[in-house]
Amino acid sequence: MATALRRPETLAPKLSWGVSKWRRDPYSSRFAVEALWPLLNTVVGKGDAANSNANRPVYFVEHSAGGPLALRALVESVTDPTLLPSGMYGAGCGLVAPAVLDPEEDPDAYNNDDDDDSNSIPLPVRIAAFKTILSLPDAFSMKLARRMVDNRNMTQALLNQTVSRVLSSQRVEALVEKYTAPLREFSSDWDTGLLNVYRADFLREDTELLNGRKLLSEAQRVMRNTGREDAAFCVISGAEDGVVPLRSSQRIAGLLGCKCVEIAQTGHLPMDETPDECAQSLLDFIQP
């Protein structure tokens, strides 16, 4: 939910609790985490709902690059319980295909085993080139962002993240529609949003926010202090994920001291490719 608020020009002004008035970079991870608290209090913390919140656990579930946001939200909710509606407490994180590891610490975290190492560009070089593009003035970087999407076969891009052999053509069409709809809904400013989100994450991320192994260690430490660390985390991965490989998810699970649920014949989008299995895995974690 917090990640959706990274479109402030179109979404934030419609919110009654005034996110658009915050003096924060609305594209940053810091903003995304902070925006979650008033949203939760608005949705479940008022009126009759507040009376039924006694001792209710809150689990933060995110996919891919949202993984760090879920971990940060858990750490902050446990450190400062007043962020959550009265009677609720941060109980854990469900991480689906989590892009949590820092490639500078774990350079093999996002390399696909199927890649030909002799022809692939080293990840540090790719990151440096990407940062260079992000640093360009808008007159150049906006054009590059538009060109990247306009010249891209979105159907093929989606298939590259899935195990397409198990998806029907109708299912593929539905998924392409799902992921390209925002480009049409925000046709005049999606490139601005895309660039600023990446700039916030790669160029001017808040230094107080932990990343990579430090973030995983902090989340585990905070939950250990509550005595609930044994049931605080769950990692779910597609067995054939080519974006965040299974071994990366297994490494994250090992660092958190939890299990990694492997879903067969599934790529980077378990919630779309095998939604029943993904949902059941999360339910088994939340309601053991």
- How large a percentage of the chain has pLDDT more than 90? 36
pLDDT at 50: 52
78 or 183, higher pLDDT: 78
What phi and psi, each to the nearest 5 degrees, are found at residue 201?
A: -80, -35
How far apart (Å, rounded) are the C-alpha atoms in residues 218 and 79?
11
Q: Please choose, from the candidates 21, 77, 30, 34, the residue with its C-alpha nearest in 3D space to the C-alpha of residue 232.
A: 77
- Residue 85 CA to residue 156 CA, distance in Å, equals 43
Query: What's the predicted TM-score (pTM) here?
Result: 0.83
Strand partners, 90: 58
pLDDT by residue (tens digit) across 216-273?
999 999 999 998 888 899 999 999 999 899 999 999 999 999 999 999 999 999 999 9
Looking at 84-98, 102-116, 152-166, 224-238, which range is the least confident one? 102-116
Q: Is the pLDDT of residue 63 over 50?
A: yes
List the one residue out of 11, 34, 14, 16 whose CA is nearest residue 24.
Answer: 34
The average confidence (pLDDT) of the chain is: 81
